Amino acid sequence: PQRARSLRLAEPTAVREVRGRGMRGGVRGRPAVVGARTLVAEQLPAADGALVAKDRGNGGLRAFVAIDGAHAGIITFADHPRADAREALAALREGPVRRVVLLSGDDAATVHETATALGIAEAHGDLPPAAATTPSGGATATCCPTGRSRRCDSSSRRATGS
């Protein structure tokens, strides 16, 4: 069991989101990056070797942290499918949806673990933001898992209510 600690946290400055990958900014005047390991490596290359050594290929949803070009930590999150996810997927398959693919920017091992837990046969992880939101083949699907119809428009690649 971990003990509760009182930590004095510095207010981050100049924080910018790196879409789908994390954030960068400053802490006490030093550059900081929090997010995917690849983002940290791109922004602060000197920290990458330490992050790889600390990570050792562990699965799970993680945010890597580097401050002033040095490894500062790895934040591991518990990420579990929603309790009703299997039921929602079953409802989709009973309708017009014949193929379900899990696309994610998360760690590939975590994505495959989640897909297996949900009965999804095809899963792809470690994807850049554009690939994680673009259906393969530009397919259009209509489904109604919650009583509201949702359409994936192949031209905009965004789900829209209808």
DSSP annotation string for 12-78: PEEEEEETTTEEEEEETTEEEEEE-HHHHHHH-GGGHHHHHHHHTT--SEEEEEEETTEEEEEEEE-
| Tokens 């949900």, residue located | 118
Predicted confidence (pLDDT) at residue 15 exceeds the cutoff of 90:
yes
Residue 145 confidence (pLDDT): 33
Tens of pLDDT, residues 104-139: 877 788 888 889 999 999 999 888 777 766 655 544
3-state helix, strand, coil in the chain (%, to 5): 30, 30, 40
pTM of the complete model: 0.56
Residue 39 confidence (pLDDT): 87
Quote the percentage of the chain above a pLDDT of 90.
24
